[in-house]
Amino acid sequence: MFRGRFAPSPTGEMHLGNARTALLAWLQARANKGAFILRLEDLDTGRVRQGAADQILFDLEWLGLDWDEGWDISGQFAPYIQSQRQEIYAAYAQNLQTYGCSCSRKEILEAASAPHGSEVRYTGTCRDKTNHARATALRFKVPDLETRFVDGICGLVTENVQHTVGDFVIRRNDGVWAYQLACVADDAEMQISHVLRGADLLSSTARQLVLYRALNRAAPRFYHVPLLTDFYGTRLAKRDHALSLKTLRESGKQPQVMVQELARSLGWHIKTPCQPSDLLDVFEASYPLVSSG
């Protein structure tokens, strides 16, 4: 069965780029007559903003995007929430080869020979270290193997994670579980079959596939869609309050008009305001690889 998901972080107001990705993920699930799962990724508590989670739910409902699992105490649909799933991540970590790492960011930068894009390769300083003078992060021992996968939009991607980023952190030194492990554990537990998300997360995929392999769990198929950018070609961010759904709604924008504009940003010739379900035919025609099972 097809199972897709949308997994925003409640760190600010939902902007047009988030909304477009949510719309595409919803269309993908509905076109395949599958389930659409909502998950709030709120583990990084230092960045979570009060009220942002409720705002995300309101924004999705306002656009007409529903989801299929979970109920809150009032009997309404509610998302999965990562901060309530910490024991699951701990259990998954026990099935991985890991070690404690007390290296500071400065020490890692000094030891690295060359950065990989925005990433810095960890050289394994603490791999064989047993005594640490300060709090440790938990790193996964990455095997020296090439990872190859075919993204439904970007095509063939090849990466040796050990050569590009090295052993990566799955739990920070403050005890917070890192995105890579939490994402894999959640998608595995929720039996997600297809992941459609922004192209900014393409660089995380090889690391996640390495974890799937180590955990002996089946990986979903991935689709990384281009990011929505402003007039200058800069990707939208949550600090762009003028482009948030909340601001646009308060200025008088109607949800059907918003859906039409999101569709037109994809190059679809939608002449009138519409509901998300009105876009299923054009989605299947425009994204044949995305909508295939």
* Burial label, 217 (beta-carbon count in 10 A; 0-12, 13-18, 19+): middle
d(CA 265, CA 237): 17
3-state secondary structure of 14: coil
d(C-alpha 246, C-alpha 244), whole Å: 5
What tokens does 216 get? 């002996």
DSSP letter string over 64-78?
A: T----S-B-TTSSB-
As given in the structure block, the two tokens for residue 262 are: 């999101």
Phi, psi of 179 (to 5 degrees): -55, -45
Say whether 271 is catalytic: no
Q: Catalytic one among 106, 129, 238, 271?
A: 238
**163 DSSP 8-state letter:** H
Instruction: Point out the residues that are catalytic.
Output: 238
